[in-house]
Amino acid sequence: MQGLLHDWRRTNYANQCTAEIAGSDVTVMGWVHEIRDFGGIMFVIIRDVTGKVQITAPSKKVDAEILEQLREFRKESVVAIKGMAQEAPKAPNGVEILPKEIKVLNLANQPLPMDPTEKVKAGIDTRLDSRFLDIRKENVSAIFKIKGQMFHSIRDFFYDNGFHEINTPKLVASATEGGTELFPIIYFEKEAFLGQSPQLYKQMMMASGMDKVFEIGQIFRAEEHDTLRHLNEAVSIDAEASFMDDVDVMNILNDMLVNVITDVNNNCAEELDILGHEIEVPDKRFPVVTYDEAVEIVNAKDVEMDWGEDLSREAEKALGDQMGGFYFLTEWPTEIKPFYVMPKEGDEKYSHAFDLMYNNLELSSGATRVHQHDLLLKQIEERGLNPDGFGSYLKAFEYGMPPHAGWGVGADRLTMVLTGAENIRECVLFPRDRHRLTP
């Protein structure tokens, strides 16, 4: 019966089918990538998560029944093949398999909604509509293998540096940062929202005595963007640490990214080669430019920017052209940063806030946080917010809140940097933007 393995089990992945196993019987399983029938000989390329392996079926060496089964194959069907491995210098990995037995596990319908071999190119919308097929392409799966290595490296870094992993709610009663860009939902008899950020919760954890925490999780922003850099659901990498300030956590972020880039280069060389992308490991601390210096740089490049404004897209490009690579943008105006950001003592128009940029792409925002209850309450009120909406949060600041600092990194944007992708949708399995809610 089609579809059941019974006693069949894979013995080798495609990348394990090398000249060293010539003369051995193997069982490979995967998708039918390509079929070439020359009458007297057939070639079938089977693809799995590790690569491709060639099945070679000469009519003089293979039973006629096997040839008939091969001729019934359809592209992208799932099959299992038992056979003898033999050297073949022109085949992938220098080996081919002469089939002895075939099992069809699942026939694919035809025509396919898109061509995973990319002989026929598909646009981004067609690809995302059939994402399961799109990811069968090695250049697409390479992105997600790199992203997986990135998360592995990040978690190892946090654990090695004494951070505790936490999970905070994504259903919240009010705005995390006081903004209006929230997705409302019906929560039984009341209204709730999808969380913009774990910011308030990870600050509350500083009052718990856990000292250093991190979270990797979903965030939601109801922003009507339609760009190559924004999504409405994203993954954020957040860290918060007690008895530290903005300089301390900037150094942690710097070290983490050097560690990630090193790990990706060491463990994903094949995927980077498939993508044709290189990213050098920074050999020193990231440069620092202050907000005042940034305004001067931007205006010097004939892009108008007034002091106190956030960076426009044009300003980001101008600054990125000047700075290049990774760099920190520090000493932001207090008035354009959230209420929980600590103002500078003695010159409160500036804050202890920073962004991490890569060329013209913002990757991270962070700051020393306000840990004094009265100052926090004052800044909430000054921004026209109702303190009653922050009752549980504010309570944590009344009973011993240590000084602390932290940051959040956009995981999907960081994946863009690591893979060279120009569209953030390439770096998310099933992206959510203002137009896309399926698949």
Query: Which tokens is 195 given?
Result: 């969380």
Domain ranges, ordered by start, for the chain: 14-106, 133-427
pLDDT band for 302, please (50, 70, 90 cuts). very high
Residue with the two structure tokens 């101008």: 318
In this predicted model, what pLDDT tens digit does every residue of 313-340 receive, in sequence order?
999 999 999 999 999 999 999 999 999 9
Task: Using the predicted structure, report yes or no on whether residue 290 has a pLDDT greater than 80.
Answer: yes
Does the 14-106 domain belong in CATH 2.40.30.10? no
pLDDT at position 181, please?
Answer: 84
pLDDT band for 180, please (50, 70, 90 cuts). low
- Residues 315 and 303: their CA atoms lie apart, in Å, by 6
pLDDT band for 179, please (50, 70, 90 cuts). low
pTM reported for the whole predicted model: 0.94
pLDDT band for 2, please (50, 70, 90 cuts). low
At residue 145, what are phi and psi to the nearest 5 degrees? -70, -40
**To the nearest whole number, what is the mean pLDDT of the chain?**
95
In this predicted model, what pLDDT tens digit does every residue of 27-47 receive, in sequence order?
999 999 999 999 899 999 999
Better-predicted residue by pLDDT, 293 or 384? 293
In this predicted model, what pLDDT tens digit does every residue of 45-86 receive, in sequence order?
999 999 999 999 999 999 999 999 999 999 999 999 999 999
Task: Using the predicted structure, report yes or no on whether residue 1 has a pLDDT greater than 70.
Answer: no
Closest to 204 (Cα-Cα) out of 392, 406, 407: 392
Q: What CATH number does domain 133-427 carry, 3.90.550.10, 3.40.50.1980, 3.30.930.10, 3.30.70.1150?
A: 3.30.930.10
Cβ count near 47 (within 10 Å): 21
Among 120-124, 234-238, 399-403, 429-433, which stretch is predicted with the lowest mean pLDDT? 120-124
To the nearest whole percent, how much of the chain has pLDDT over 90?
A: 93
pLDDT band for 3, please (50, 70, 90 cuts). confident
